[in-house]
Amino acid sequence: MIRTIGVDPGSRFTGYGIVEGEGTRLLHVANGVIRLSGELPLTQRLKIIYEQLTRVIAEVGPACMAIEDIFFAKNVKSALRLGQARGAAILAGVNAGLPIYEYSALEVKKAVVGYGKAGKDQVGEMVRCLFRLSQPIDPNAADALAVAVCHVNTSGSRTRWIVRGKS
């Protein structure tokens, strides 16, 4: 079983979710959200994202990080802030020696819900059902878990292709 940390980056809310999986077997390990005040300067928020993810990575010991790629932002300023939050998260993973895998929102939604244009509520409900969680979870944590699930599904098929190619 491969332990993966999924990250849904944001300059105000950065979700993370840790999943163990192999093939169709999935296990929910943990999830959470780094909540950041809009009152803080962006540089301070980036520092907190980096420090908090570094702490989570050290505690749960994932083998890799999967992170959502930017594909759309409401405006240029939002896109830049989101890119900087992604950079802080990626740096935490890279400094921990983790390989980093990036997935578009379309890939993540398709892997988890089966439909690339699914809404946040559909992703959250599917994640809750997949892991048999009794309570609804924060949408940012659900998105992060979905990114991790997408990676587990994708890495499993990559492995199968490699094995088939060698035989």
Helix or strand run (H / E) with residue 86 = helix 76-95
Residue 74 has pLDDT above 80, yes or no: no
What share of the chain has pLDDT > 90, as a percent? 64
Q: What number is the average pLDDT over the span 98-102? A: 96
CA proximity to 153, closest of 113, 97, 99, 96: 113
pLDDT of residue 23: 67
Tokens (6 digits) for 162:
């490699």
CATH number for the domain spanning 112: value is 3.30.420.10
**Beta carbons within 10 angstroms of residue 80's beta carbon:** 14
pLDDT value of position 166: 39
Mean pLDDT is lowest, of 45-49, 91-95, 101-105, for 101-105
Which residues, in sequence order, are CB contacts of 129 under 8 Å at separation 6+? none
* pLDDT of res. 117: 75
Q: Helices 105-112 and 139-166: crossing angle, nearest 10°?
A: 80
Q: What is the residue range of 121's domain?
A: 2-166
pLDDT value at 146 more than 90: yes
Residue 42 DSSP SS3:
helix
Number of domains forming the structure of the chain: 1
Q: What is the mean pLDDT of the chain?
A: 88
pLDDT of residue 118: 79
Closest CA to 5 of 97, 83, 82, 71: 97
Q: What is the mean pLDDT of residues 137-165?
A: 75
pLDDT for 73 equals: 62
